[in-house]
Amino acid sequence: MIPRMAGLLFALMCSALLMGAEQPLKPVLTEAQQQFQKTLTKVKFIGHFTLTGDKKPPAEEEYTILSVEKLAKDDLWLFRARVKYGKTDLTLPMPLPVKWAGNTPVITLENVTLPGLGTFSARVVVDGDKYAGTWSHGKVGGHLFGIIEKLDPK
């Protein structure tokens, strides 16, 4: 009887500790992750995108990233970004996986639904102050590329 009570008491204490943990521990970042966070805080991605099979020149695109923060779970990072797509202009928090090819980050969307915008997939490589990748939205897709500029601190 006593071993059962001790086990029950231990389980209750563990549950109370887990339930009382309001904030997950902040992950310890590697040097590459720290650089990624610094590179993508208060920046604009300014570039172009193409449509596969379309002969038109690449169209302009722009995304403002206010901040990125590593979440405690797996490869997830919280991006706070302003997205302009067609007539839609939103600022969204987006938890997105970032995979690493050595020290090179790859922002990864796999059928991610963005409210008001639709469902997207993408692989975007960040290389210093440049980005490049592929994207799809339903049956359309293409390439994207450009530069990363720091926002004016004003």
CB 61 within 8 A of CB 74: no
The SS3 assignment for 107 reads: strand
CB atoms within 10 A of CB 1: 5
Give tens-digit pLDDT for 11-66: 333 333 333 444 456 788 999 999 999 999 999 999 999 999 999 999 999 999 99
The CATH class, in words, for 29-150 is mainly beta
Q: Please, which residues bridge with residue 60 across strands?
A: 48
54-78, pLDDT tens digit by residue? 999 999 999 999 999 999 988 999 9
Cβ neighbours, 10 Å, residue 23:
6
Model pLDDT for residues 100-109, shown as the tens digit of each residue: 999 999 999 9
Across the chain, what does the average pLDDT equal? 84
